[in-house]
Amino acid sequence: MLRNTLESFSAATSLFEERVVIPLVLIVGVFLVLITFFITGAIYKSRSHEMSMSDEEKRIREEAKNCMTYKGTPETADLTERLPRSAVLDGAECEVEEREACAESAADGKKCDRPVNLDEPGIIILYKTHKSEAISVQKEVIKKLLRERIDEVTLPVGLVGSFYDYTLEFSTRDLRDQFGGIEIERVNISTKLQSLGLSCRIVPDEKNDKHTAIRISGVPSCDFDEKLYFFLIHPDYRKEMPMEGEKKDEVTSFSQYPKGYVHAKPFLINPDPRSLWDDKPVADYEGYENDDNVAQGTTVPGLPLEIIAASVRGRSHAHVGKPRDDCFYMEFDEATGWNYVAVADGAGSAKFSRKGSEIACKTVIKSLRESLGIEATEAIFSNKRTSLRRWQTEYLKHRGVPDPFWENEFVDETQLGNIFHKAVYDAHKAIEREATVRPASLKDYHTTLLCAAFRFLEDLNAYLIASYWVGDGGAALFANHSDAIPPWNVMVLGKPDGGEFAGQTRFLTMPSEIFPDAIRKRLRFSFCDNIDAMLLVTDGITDPFFPSEAAVGDAKRWEEFYRDKLKNGCEEECNGCPILDSAAATPQQKAESLKTWLGFWSKGNHDDRTVLIVKPRDNF
């Protein structure tokens, strides 16, 4: 029975293969053959059509295709419906607002003839050759030579707010040899280029007085980073261009332009670097708040002097929302006649240096004032055995010689030197206590310090100036004999302090700076007949105006800085007015002008800036 069943199943399978599988395989095979045939025919038809077109037909069709605005993709668009083949072969122009493909081909140095588009940043140039009989037959040669000339050009990079001036000469040697050179008849610039603040005019050749060049000039008002198109109008179309006037000069407008050869060159106007800086508010002062910019001006009680001071947050701080780290402070003691000034620069890398600079300025002056009371002052000047008294005697001997100064450094038995030593030590310890209370590292409060105490000595009819300087920045004293005329005699009140490595400095907060020997070498005691100026500045000032440590120690550089930049300076930032010499201005008004001036631009120098000036009153 099993055997019969297997035989029946085998017969059924054979019948299925004969009636179903074999016909199905034949049908699939025929279908694949037909598909292959149709694909092959389509490819052949396309290639046959392409082979039947001339090279000129292919070029015109491709140019028309590039100039077309598609609703879909170029592959799916039907060119024959939108631009008939006859129109393509006749060289019909594509009427579209923008021709990016044509412009790009021009940028690559390829030939491109099209109407001028005044919305593009371009210069329209109408030219002629001196051998007019060659125009019709040599048009392509002229265009080729002009294209090669523009290919050689690299347009200079401009800067917003700075004068741009570039002259492009068109009459090359080949053009002169073959066509007697070319002459520019008319030139104009597109509206977009005018909006940049640039103009273009024809200029003569220096040798033959022919108008063979154009000059692009002006003060760019905004940045620009696109292609600049040169529209060179073909001589064949010269009669189509409306001419206005007889002079070969810039024509402000033409009613219409014919088509011309287009060539594009990269053109870059960089933005004003100042506009790239942000002015971000400080998000978190972390308990040590201060003002971004401050100014203070006041008269010195009982003396013909005034003090002008200002401090501003640097661009590098404002750009990232960091607070100002510089500080200045001043106090006067009418009872003793002592006057105190201080300037400090908190280290930019120290987290709480703004507090360190503030503590340094206020504490050193507080300590000096407490130590230089009435009794201490009388003792200093009455004790004939002190070094200070001996210096007074030496000063009287030197009065009348060309150098109006008498200077000496710290001497152990000098009482005034001991008082300064204590004041510097107190400032260091005050910062140390603040770091302990916070708690924080002492390095987080790193700061420099420049300070001075000055007093008028009636018995000598002269000033005594005691000063201390640690770190970068600088201090200088300007003086003359009473009957002298500038230039001033200048004394630098210390030595530049660059630290162990380049870019480093020393700080008051370094433990090694409070030892007696370290403080002693930084003290200066000076006498002078009068104070024409005393300057204390941070490195935000010395870096741009004193480019080296040697320059900071150069008295001549200090004289030039004070005379040219502060006393007689007519800076744009101060509306063209001298900063300090204004008899009608109050000390506070002068300080506000000084604060404005501190916003000056100096490439690569964007730190906080602080200046404190002691100077004669204008109306005393």
21, part of any domain: no
- Residue of higher predicted confidence among 264 and 609: 609
Contact 143, 111 (CB under 8 A): yes
How far is residue 279 from each of residues 326, 386, 598, measured CA to CA in Å? 17, 53, 15
The pLDDT value given to residue 164: 94
Q: How confident is the model at residue 393 (pLDDT cuts 50, 70, 90)?
A: low
The pLDDT value given to residue 100: 42
Query: Closest Cα to residue 368, out of 329, 426, 313?
Result: 426
Contacting residues for 453 by C-beta, under 8 A, at least 6 apart? 338, 339, 340, 368, 372, 420, 465, 466, 467
Highest mean pLDDT among 1-5, 57-61, 111-115, 431-435: 431-435
Query: Closest Cα to residue 263, out of 143, 139, 168, 95?
Result: 143
Rounded Cα distance, 525 and 535, in Å: 16
E strands, 234-386, are: 259-270, 293-299, 305-312, 326-333, 338-345
| Rounded (5°) CA angle 25-29-30 | 120
The pLDDT value given to residue 318: 93
> Letter for the amino acid at 413?
E
Contact 269, 223 (CB under 8 A): yes
pLDDT tens for 117-127 read 666 788 877 77
Contact 188, 118 (CB under 8 A): no
- Report how many domains make up the chain: 3
459, part of any domain: yes
pLDDT tens for 404-429 read 555 554 444 467 888 999 999 999 99
42, part of any domain: no
1, part of any domain: no
452, part of any domain: yes
Where helices occur in 472-521 by DSSP H, the ranges are: 516-520
- Mean pLDDT across the stretch 199-227? 82
In percent, the amount of the chain with pLDDT more than 70 equals 64
The pLDDT value given to residue 268: 93
The pLDDT value given to residue 16: 56
- Per-residue pLDDT at 44 exceeds 90: no
| Rounded (5°) CA angle 360-363-366 | 145
352, part of any domain: yes
**Domain termination residue (choose one: 274, 301, 333):** 274
Q: How confident is the model at residue 534 (pLDDT cuts 50, 70, 90)?
A: very high
Rounded Cα distance, 221 and 133, in Å: 44
Same domain, 198 and 219: yes
Rounded Cα distance, 227 and 150, in Å: 13
pLDDT tens for 85-103 read 333 223 333 333 333 444 4
Same domain, 366 and 248: no
Contact 111, 148 (CB under 8 A): no
Average pLDDT over the chain, rounded to whole?
A: 75
Tokens of residue 74, six digits = 């170029």
Phi, psi (rounded to 5 degrees) for 466: -110, 130
Rounded Cα distance, 610 and 594, in Å: 10
DSSP for 79-134 reads HHHHS-HHHHHTTPPP--S--HHHHHHHHTT---EEE--TTSSEEEEEEEES-GGG
Q: How confident is the model at residue 301 (pLDDT cuts 50, 70, 90)?
A: very high
Q: How confident is the model at residue 616 (pLDDT cuts 50, 70, 90)?
A: very high
Residue in the block written with tokens 């040669």: 141
The pLDDT value given to residue 230: 84
Same domain, 123 and 91: no
416, part of any domain: yes
Q: How confident is the model at residue 193 (pLDDT cuts 50, 70, 90)?
A: confident
Same domain, 163 and 242: yes
Which stretch of 63-72, 146-155, 277-286, 375-384 has the lowest confidence by average pLDDT? 63-72
- Per-residue pLDDT at 189 exceeds 70: yes
| Beta partners for residue 114, in sequence order | 260
Other C-beta atoms lying within 10 Å of the C-beta of residue 226: 13
- Per-residue pLDDT at 14 exceeds 90: no
Query: Closest Cα to residue 475, out of 449, 510, 513?
Result: 449
The pLDDT value given to residue 9: 52
Rounded Cα distance, 106 and 120, in Å: 14
Query: Closest Cα to residue 541, out of 465, 476, 462, 590?
Result: 476
- Per-residue pLDDT at 388 exceeds 70: no
262, part of any domain: yes
- Per-residue pLDDT at 259 exceeds 70: no
Contact 590, 580 (CB under 8 A): yes
Same domain, 332 and 261: no
Same domain, 495 and 456: yes
Where helices occur in 211-340 by DSSP H, the ranges are: 315-320
Same domain, 79 and 209: no
pLDDT tens for 281-298 read 998 899 999 999 999 999
Rounded Cα distance, 600 and 447, in Å: 24
The pLDDT value given to residue 567: 77
The pLDDT value given to residue 275: 84
Same domain, 302 and 269: no
- Per-residue pLDDT at 131 exceeds 60: no
Phi, psi (rounded to 5 degrees) for 328: -140, 160
6: three-class secondary structure by DSSP: helix
- Per-residue pLDDT at 241 exceeds 90: no
Contact 475, 535 (CB under 8 A): yes
- Mean pLDDT across the stretch 571-586? 62
Contact 214, 201 (CB under 8 A): yes
- Per-residue pLDDT at 174 exceeds 90: no
The pLDDT value given to residue 151: 83
| Beta partners for residue 420, in sequence order | none
Rounded Cα distance, 249 and 235, in Å: 19
pLDDT tens for 310-366 read 999 999 999 999 999 999 999 999 999 999 999 999 998 899 999 999 999 999 999
The pLDDT value given to residue 370: 95
> What's the distance, CA 275 to chain centroid?
8
Same domain, 228 and 305: no
Same domain, 347 and 376: yes
Same domain, 295 and 340: yes
Q: How confident is the model at residue 397 (pLDDT cuts 50, 70, 90)?
A: low
Which stretch of 149-158, 519-528, 561-570 has the lowest confidence by average pLDDT? 561-570
The pLDDT value given to residue 437: 94
Rounded Cα distance, 536 and 451, in Å: 8
Residue 144: Cβ-neighbour burial (10 angstroms; 0-12, 13-18, 19+) = middle
**Domain termination residue (choose one: 95, 124, 144):** 95
464: three-class secondary structure by DSSP: strand
- Per-residue pLDDT at 451 exceeds 90: yes
Q: How confident is the model at residue 234 (pLDDT cuts 50, 70, 90)?
A: low
Is the peptide bond between 487 and the residue preceding it cis, with omega within 30 degrees of 0?
yes
In percent, the amount of the chain with pLDDT more than 90 equals 36
Residue 178 carries which DSSP code?
H
Rounded Cα distance, 103 and 101, in Å: 5
Same domain, 340 and 250: no
Domain of residue 67: give its range: 57-95
CATH of the domain at 374: 3.60.40.10
